[in-house]
Structure 1
Amino acid sequence: MRHGKRLVVWALLVALSLTLAACGGSGGGQGGGGETLPEAQEALAELEGKVLSTGPNGEEPTPADEVTLTDEELGQVKEMGAKAAIVMHYGGDDWSRAQINALETRFKEMGIEVIATTDADFDPGKQVSDIETVLAQKPDVIVSIPTDPVATADAYKKAAEAGVKLVFMDNVPEGFEQGKDYTSVVSADNYGNGVASAHLMASTLGGEGKIGAIYHAADFFVTQQRYDAFKKTIEEEYPNIEIVADQGIGGPDFAGQAEEAASAMLTANADLKGIWAVWDVPAEGVLAGARTAGRNDLTVATMDLGTPMAIELASGGMVKGLGAQRPYEQGVTEANLAGYALLDKQAPPYVALPALPVTSENVMDAWKEVYNQEPPEQVREAAGE
């Protein structure tokens, strides 16, 4: 599955959605200014196929389409009978499940046995323990997303010193050198998704109004990229939109903390038109806070196409737009890079997939791209199918 031709279609669908917003259609914001913004449409179209993010150490991005294995290389990997472990920061959301599904599927095609899949539930100490447990099973490869670049570094270092090939998602342990300590890191264009969510919110609001922002308070590279991109885009490109409140949340109850933050923002700012949330789980908390406050007219923008966000978009709810990652394709790419490591094939240091703007108009097709499967029944029902 590759995204080239579909992106063109989706760019047109995004533009259509923004036009509908101006006319009060299903993509429109109930609290918006009532006018679509040509500059927002143009900016979204310009994102197509591009990656704005750099890697954790400033690396230039390599497109995921360039990370491939030839039939001969695939045969060589199959003959190795290698073993792999998947060490997650968290495994209980659509994003994580999609990556795990892709990794397991692609590893099976590569003849690599998955001997363990762990879930640290955002706890660095638990992840350190998970790594130690996994190492006792002697994997050849570990694919992992570090919960904390500092607290987990020693554990990953022990794995590297034991000869385990490391492929990372999103984050890299502090002090690690690509090509020596790990193979590569794979990520979505988190900066680009932050930019996309800013343009989508700005267009829904008609380019004016007061908004709030809820960001991730932890030292986590990709979520910081999202917040930086959103804030910079709003401040530099939409002078009539003012971020009057922003609040960091540290978890682990991201939805609950976001609900409290949103409620406080709405209480302090009766004229608040929108709230941005750093990913879909905090956005669920924003929706809960808005409903409790009787603010069903609030415009919400976020990142990640989780099931609740897809339902909101499909039903014309408060979520008016988001920037989506492609976790299934990320997982396939990570598995291919594991193959690079086993073959001692030189790998690019940072591989990224472009941002995907999603609105009510393209949410059903976007789901297929993001998860490599049909939308679930509750999303189809919300869309009236």
Structure 2
Amino acid sequence: MQLKRKTLFGAGALLLGASLLFTGCSNGGGSGESTSPEAPDATGDSFVVGYAGAVQANPNNKAIEDAMRAMVESEGGEFIVTDANFDTSKQFSDVQSLINQEIDVLVIWPLDPLGIQPAIEQADAAGIPVIVQDTTDGGPYASNFQVTNYESAESAASLIEETVGPNAKVAQIEGLPIVGVLDARNRGFAAGAEALGQTILASQINELDSADGARPIVDAWKSRFGSEIQAIFAYNDQSAIGAASAKSDDFNPIVIGMNGDSDGVAAVKDGRMLATYDFHPVQMGAGLGWAAHQLVLGETLPETVVLEAAMITKDNADQWIPVDEWLKKSFDVSIEDVNGTSMLKVTERG
């Protein structure tokens, strides 16, 4: 690609530190893989990060955005965000708009990883490195930051077995499979259920992506299967809440959601849901903003960086910290090699 800057500040990947709130970052040695060989045309004190958001009305996505903005601005950069609102065509034009604004780094959670490729190639041709979320298809990318979506959904099947016993009969509310992160959740749970001998009696996509969209799906299952359904897995908390609202004396499956948002955690606490998964959106946003700054400084990033999700049940729900509280905190950010996997470590400063 034609690079916006010919000078290479540095190479080598990362065991690096930064603070989320109004403090700088420090550089150190380490090892890893890089797909971004040179720095963009900016200095560490003056740079622009563009974020092509997918659905910013989603609380988790908004938390990622807010934390990324805080990190970028704390390092002296400018942060520009767009919102595709689940529209793949708009996300394509959003990326082109960000390129025209001469950003130095593009961060994107692609709604359609393959469909967005021409825009990614335009960014590459302009010398703009690209960091993606939960995306392995396409490229070239400086790095892919992903959460353990597949593994977490897979573990939900194990939780069902622990709760209702072996060979459970389950139902699955799926997310739109064109969205990589949702497809990973869909596939992860299906694989986990199959491995444990569970029977998926029914599965359906919640095209409305809301509790209101999930409720009629579950009502139909209730009429068809009744108490035969022992558990329902939903790809997000709102769908799980919609599923739980269909419960009755003669229809009482356990319900598991994902995202760990405030509504989901409240439903776990009051017993409507058995569990949800916290994907640490503030920590992910801090990591993405920090990583964008590292590219500006000429550092390299591992090809894939993983942030591990956490299961939330009644046993630990009281320890959950709301997003607005996380956003007030200061963090150290690093990437550490754990058994050959580059893990994102975001820890609160004491």
Residue 138 in structure 1 maps to residue 102 in structure 2: yes
| Distance in 2 separating the partners of 1:170 and 1:82 | 24
| Distance in 2 separating the partners of 1:295 and 1:332 | 45
SS in 2 for 1:213: strand
| Distance in 2 separating the partners of 1:253 and 1:216 | 7
| Distance change in 2, residues 1:210/1:71 (3 Å) | closer
Question: Does the 8 Å contact 1:200/1:322 carry over to 2?
Answer: no
TM-superposition CA deviations, 1:179-210 (whole Å, max 9, x none): xxx21111111122112322222223244542
SS in 2 for 1:263: helix
Count of matched residue pairs: 298
Question: Does the 8 Å contact 2:56/2:85 carry over to 1?
Answer: yes
Q: Quote how far apart the aligned CAs of 1:145 are.
A: 0.6
| Distance in 1 separating the partners of 2:115 and 2:187 | 24
| Distance change in 2, residues 1:167/1:334 (3 Å) | same
| Distance in 2 separating the partners of 1:270 and 1:122 | 33
| Distance in 2 separating the partners of 1:159 and 1:294 | 56
Counterpart AA for 2:267? E
| Distance in 1 separating the partners of 2:325 and 2:58 | 12
Residue 175 in structure 1 maps to residue 131 in structure 2: no
Question: Does the 8 Å contact 1:367/1:373 carry over to 2?
Answer: no
Q: CA RMSD in A?
A: 2.8
**1:3 alignment counterpart:** none
**1:216 alignment counterpart:** 175
Residue 194 in structure 1 maps to residue 153 in structure 2: yes
SS in 2 for 1:303: coil
Residue 310 in structure 1 maps to residue 265 in structure 2: yes
**2:300 alignment counterpart:** 346
Give runs of aligned pairs for residues 155-304 of structure 1, distance below 5 A: 155-172=119-136, 174-177=137-140, 182-207=141-166, 209-237=168-196, 239=197, 241-249=198-206, 251-271=207-227, 272-288=229-245, 290-291=246-247, 297-304=252-259
| Distance in 2 separating the partners of 1:196 and 1:343 | 38
- Which one has a larger percent helix, Structure 1 or Structure 2? 1
Counterpart AA for 1:82? F
Structure 2 unaligned runs (5+)? 1-12, 19-23, 29-38, 329-350
Question: Does the 8 Å contact 2:109/2:133 carry over to 1?
Answer: yes
Question: Does the 8 Å contact 2:152/2:309 carry over to 1?
Answer: yes
Residue 363 in structure 1 maps to residue 317 in structure 2: yes
TM-superposition CA deviations, 1:226-275 (whole Å, max 9, x none): 222222222223x3x422112234x3444443222212111110122221
Question: Does the 8 Å contact 2:63/2:281 carry over to 1?
Answer: yes
SS in 2 for 1:228: helix
| Distance change in 2, residues 1:373/1:80 (3 Å) | closer
**1:109 alignment counterpart:** 74
Structure 1 unaligned runs (5+)? 1-63, 375-385
TM-superposition CA deviations, 1:8-36 (whole Å, max 9, x none): xxxxxxxxxxxxxxxxxxxxxxxxxxxxx
TM-score (norm 1): 0.70
**1:337 alignment counterpart:** 291
| Distance in 1 separating the partners of 2:312 and 2:14 | 21
| Distance in 1 separating the partners of 2:16 and 2:174 | 32
TM-score (norm 2): 0.76
Question: Does the 8 Å contact 1:67/1:336 carry over to 2?
Answer: no
Give runs of aligned pairs for residues 45-194 of structure 1, distance below 5 A: 66=15, 68=17, 71-73=25-27, 79-114=44-79, 116-172=80-136, 174-177=137-140, 182-194=141-153
SS in 1 for 2:271: coil
| Distance in 1 separating the partners of 2:315 and 2:234 | 21
| Distance change in 2, residues 1:153/1:299 (3 Å) | same
| Distance in 2 separating the partners of 1:73 and 1:310 | 37
Identity across the alignment (%): 22
Counterpart AA for 1:104? R
Question: Does the 8 Å contact 2:170/2:232 carry over to 1?
Answer: yes
Counterpart AA for 1:340? Q
**2:337 alignment counterpart:** none
Counterpart AA for 1:306? D
